[in-house]
Amino acid sequence: MIGEIRAFLRRCRAAHGHTALRPTTAPDLVIMPPLSSAYEATQLMASPLAPTPVAQRAAVQIIAGTTPGLTGEMSSLLASRLRNVALVLSVGFIVFTVLGLFDVDGLTTMWHRAQWWTHLGVTMLLMLIAWRLCVRCTHAIASLRVVEFLIFASTTFEFFFNTNVAQIETAPLGFLINPVHPWIVLIFIYALYIPTTWQRAVQILGPITGLAVLATWLPSLLRPEVARVLTEQPIFVSVLANQSLAIVFSAGVAVWGVRTIGLLRREAYEARQIGQYRLKKLLGKGGMGEVHLAEHVLLRRPCAIKLIAASKAGDPQALARFEREVQATARLTHWNTIEIYDYGRTADGIFYYVMEYLPGMNLQQIVERHGPLEPARVIHLLTQVCDALQEAHQHGMVHRDIKPANIFSAYRGGVHDVAKLLDFGLVRDQFSKATDLGLTQEGLITGSPLFMSPEQASGDTPDARSDIYSLGIAAYYLLSGRVPFDADTPIKVILAHAQQPVPPLSVPDLEVPADLEAVVLKCLEKRPDDRLQSASELRDALALCGDAGQWSRDKADLWWTDCGCPEKKALDAEVCEMVC
């Protein structure tokens, strides 16, 4: 099998003018060709925040996005519009069919009988089309275009026949009736209601307009009585000429309208597009910006896009913090840290970064909705967070904003309760001496007061043990549903962290295992030297607790089946359909 693959690769490379692959010392490996100059060029790319030379700015353009996303959107819209058009036309034709049944005297001539049967046939066809569009959920764009042709071709045939019959039947009475209004209505129904391109509109409306004009003049060529009326009463020639011009003018305006609507639809589509990412739904807002559910238009991969707020776009410190957050997260590869896909700036100056979309809920939402968590589950989740923190600390990064809202219980790889550590916006490099000072001048105290370590509260430089304290507060909250220090003002909470002893975790109405409570309280020592000294130590301490390993996948699956947020579950199901 491997030999066949190698032979195939050699043939491919030979066909493209490359030399054959050479085996390495390992028998199943190959040496990759030299890196291209394009790759080398990417290594020299400046940060998105770096000033762009004026001479180069014209080359930086927002990627408009390819047609698959818009085609899919148009397919759904076209199916809905065609269904509505078929229903409206069929209902209208049914009304006239029923009225025709009561007008028995009007069916005395051959032309009237033929007109009635034609009308009945077109009505049945439209009803069949409407029924098919109502019962089917998905439709290929090519099939919908065939349906579109059938609807408007059959209606055009009906109007063409009616126009001829109207003139032929009224000519013996010395006047002519030319029903032009149905033609104009049909033209504008297509132009205003059917999503299409102006080129296709020309292909559809051109024949409709031609047949409408032909139906206006054809009876005078076929029936002498019609020609006699036009000869004896020239006013009807003028009327028919004006009606023909009105039809042609309406078709021209309709095509122009289709082109305008198409441009607006494209602009609206691209307005929901950031590079190759199409924005689908707003997930939330914060001080730094917005987070949207998005989809990569080529990979069809769901993701979350964070956009910096317009009010922050001109703030160098906010932009630097935004860049620091994405760069810090991108350096981390642990599966319990949220994954970053992309980062950049659009041509109109919007800064964004793209991260994985996480089905599930953050731990604060879970506690607020369902109360304290089981001790075994808390151990299960915090052990994973410790693993993610350990990697960050090894890179010299201190998170500084660990709290339940920044820990996500996600569904990944078919497994529930996969912990994900989020929001590295306040991360600080322990090995940096000065680069962080400018970013914290807005307030030397950074973090969330309810989950802040004493050294953060006093404005000292925090290290990894500060994250241990914050994670201990988070554990306290997950086990009890409350925080150890709360007050009516942030400054009182900050002072409590620095000065007051931690209240006992176990209370009469809540019993927490003693070994787990001891680990949590060890994390909450005031002096950093008295705490567990690293994330790995905390992980090992949690592993020694009696409830460690008691939270199984089956328990997690059962909990998420019975609990959770219905709205978030619906959104997660919608995202799942995007990739299924």
pLDDT in tens, 157-204: 989 988 888 888 888 888 888 888 889 999 999 998 888 888 989 999
Distance CA 137, CA 469 (A): 53
Of the two residues 25 and 418, the one the predictor is more confident about is 418
Query: Phi and psi of 522, rounded to 5°?
Result: -65, -35
In sequence order, which residues have a C-beta less than 8 Å from that of residue 110 and are 6 or more positions away?
none
Question: pLDDT at position 466, please?
Answer: 87
Question: pLDDT at position 31, please?
Answer: 36
Q: CATH topology of 274-355 equal to that of 359-436+443-579?
A: no
Residue 19 has pLDDT above 90, yes or no: no
For residues 75 and 129, the answer to whether their CB atoms sit within 8 Å is no
Of the two residues 60 and 289, the one the predictor is more confident about is 289
**Every domain of the chain and the residues it spans:** 67-271, 274-355, 359-436+443-579
Question: pLDDT at position 287, please?
Answer: 65
The catalytically annotated residue of 401, 417, 436, 467 is 401
Residue 322 has pLDDT above 50, yes or no: yes
In terms of Cβ atoms closer than 10 Å to its own Cβ (0-12, 13-18, 19+), residue 414 is exposed
Q: Which two tokens stand for residue 409?
A: 């219980």
Q: Which two tokens stand for residue 352?
A: 């964004």
DSSP string across 100-111: HHH-GGGG-SHH
Nearest to 161 by CA among 104, 123, 114: 114
Q: How far is CA 280 from CA 273, 293, 571, 572, in A?
A: 9, 5, 11, 13
Question: pLDDT at position 386, please?
Answer: 94
401 belongs to the catalytic site:
yes
Nearest to 551 by CA among 523, 516, 514: 516
Secondary structure E strands in 79-153: none
| Per-residue buried b or exposed e for 28-58, using 16+ beta carbons within 10 Å of the residue's own CB | eeeeeeeeeeeeeeeeeeeebeeeeeeeeee
Distance CA 73, CA 246 (A): 34
Q: How far is CA 428 from CA 304, 380, 397, 400, 565, in A?
A: 24, 27, 6, 7, 34
Enter the pTM of the model: 0.56
Question: pLDDT at position 380, please?
Answer: 93
If you average pLDDT over residues 102-125, what whole number do you get?
73
For residues 447 and 477, the answer to whether their CB atoms sit within 8 Å is no
Pairing status of strand 407-412 against strand 277-285: unpaired
For residues 365 and 382, the answer to whether their CB atoms sit within 8 Å is no
If you average pLDDT over residues 527-534, what whole number do you get?
88
Residue 66 has pLDDT above 90, yes or no: no
Of the two residues 413 and 45, the one the predictor is more confident about is 413
Work out the angle between the directed axes of helices 141-170 and 67-102 (0-180°, nearest 10): 30
- Furthest C-alpha separation in the chain: 113
Q: Tell me the CB-side half-sphere exposure of residue 192, using CA atoms within 13 A.
A: 8
When the candidates are 1.10.760.10, 1.10.10.10, 2.30.30.100, 1.10.510.10, the CATH number that belongs to 359-436+443-579 is 1.10.510.10
SS3 342: strand
Pairing status of strand 273-274 against strand 277-285: antiparallel
Q: How far is CA 551 from CA 92, 310, 320, 547, in A?
A: 63, 44, 41, 8
For residues 350 and 49, the answer to whether their CB atoms sit within 8 Å is no
Nearest to 308 by CA among 293, 295, 291: 291
| Average pLDDT taken over every residue of the chain | 77
H helix intervals, 223-234 = 224-232
Query: Which of 39-43, 124-128, 354-358, 501-505 is predicted with the least confidence, judged by mean pLDDT?
Result: 39-43
Distance CA 260, CA 435 (A): 51
Distance CA 417, CA 559 (A): 10
The most confident of the ranges 114-118, 340-344, 547-551 is: 547-551
Nearest to 385 by CA among 422, 425, 339: 422
Residues forming beta bridges with residue 122, ordered by sequence position: none
User: What is the pLDDT confidence band of residue 26, given thresholds at 50, 70 and 90?
Assistant: very low
SS3 376: helix
| Per-residue buried b or exposed e for 542-564, using 16+ beta carbons within 10 Å of the residue's own CB | beebebbeebeeebbeebbeeeb
Question: pLDDT at position 253, please?
Answer: 94
Task: Confirm or reject CATH 1.10.1760.20 for domain 274-355, answering yes or no.
Answer: no
pLDDT in tens, 437-462: 333 334 445 567 888 888 887 777 78
Question: pLDDT at position 527, please?
Answer: 87
If you average pLDDT over residues 513-522, what whole number do you get?
90
Distance CA 14, CA 17 (A): 5
